[in-house]
Structures are given as structure tokens and as C-alpha cells.
Amino acid sequence: MPDTTNDTAYSRLSIFLHWMAAILVIALFATHEGARGSAAFVFHVSGGAIAGVFLLWRVAHRVRHGMAPAPDQAWLFTVASKIVFWGFLAAIVVVVVTGYLSPWSVGRAIDIYGLFSLPSPLSANRDLHEFVEELHEIAGQLFVPLLALHLLGAAKHYFFDRDGVVRRMFRASDTGV
């Protein structure tokens, strides 16, 4: 029988934040190439501005509460797990911050679905804008290999280790992190 001591290590809030962040990041990634003014572009900018607040909450919550206990495994897998974990959090922060800075760095407000806008606190700076856009793109592209490694790790735990690690993202614990 598999060891299930790690299967209830996350709280309901942590599980909710994990899955909502996954959905938001995938949706925003899928719309990042939309032409200016297209529905995809509007969703990426407006939805990204709204999602950014949620995603930063997710990062703050995870940093504050830490990770669930790591299962017994080879040190290489433990190191890879930590790299993917911190890589995701860093990529989220960089993408969100640069997402706000991108329009602001050319002096434009961020329009939220035509309902309201977030005015730019910056004056136009083309060099800053180019840097911020490049950083936004690079950090956004990091989600692809990070997600691949994350899914491979989940598959390893589910199909080979059978240690309950995957189950903890589906079943909440009142005492979880």
C-alpha cells in the first residue's frame, strides 16, 4: 500500500489559489499574441491587470505559508521541485509587474474592459518600455518549460511513486499550508 502521509498538506485556500492561478496563467498565455484591439488582446491586457492582483495574492500566500512537506525522494528531484516552485513564483511576479509597467512605461493607462482605467504613474520612456516588454515576454515563455517539468513531476509521483503527493492538490486539509 502506498504511503499517503503527504496527501492532505494543502489548505482549501491554497488549492483554490493553485488551480485559479493555473487557469489564469494558461488563459493569459493563450491570448498573449493577440493583435492590438482584438478580443484576445483586450482579454490579455484587461484580464491580465485583474488577474495580476489575484496572482500576486497567490504568490504572497505561498511565500508566507511555504511548501507542503517534500516526499522522500532522490536529492535531484527535491532540487528540481524547488527550482520549479520558485521559478513559477518568480515568473508570476515578473510577468505581472512587467504587464503593468508595459503600457505605463509609454505613459498609457491600462484600460479595464472600458469600465475604468489604471492611470500611468510614469512618464513615457521608450527604452524602459522596450526592456519591460522583452522581460515580460521572456518571463511569460518560462511558463512552458516550468509547466512541463511540473506535469512530469506530478506524473512521476502519481504513476511511479504513488506517494499521495498529487492527491494533496485535490483534497484539502484543515491544517494544511
Instruction: Give the three-state DSSP class for 116.
Output: strand
Task: Give the domain range for residue 62.
Answer: 12-169
Q: Does 109 reside within a domain?
A: yes
The domain total for the chain is 1
Which amino acid, residue 18?
Answer: H
- Cβ atoms of 96 and 123 within 8 Å: the answer is no
What is the pLDDT at residue 48? Answer: 98
Q: Does 6 reside within a domain?
A: no
Q: Does 121 reside within a domain?
A: yes
CATH number at residue 156: 1.20.950.20
- State pLDDT tens for residues 108-141: 999 999 999 999 999 999 999 999 999 999 999 9
Q: Does 175 reside within a domain?
A: no
What is the pLDDT at residue 120? Answer: 98
Q: Does 90 reside within a domain?
A: yes
Residue 58 host element (H or E): helix 48-65
Q: Does 2 reside within a domain?
A: no
What is the pLDDT at residue 176? Answer: 80
Which amino acid, residue 69?
Answer: P
Q: Does 62 reside within a domain?
A: yes
Give the Cα separation of 69 and 63 in Å (integer).
14
- State pLDDT tens for residues 31-74: 999 898 999 999 999 999 999 999 999 999 999 998 888 889 99
- State pLDDT tens for residues 89-103: 999 999 999 999 999
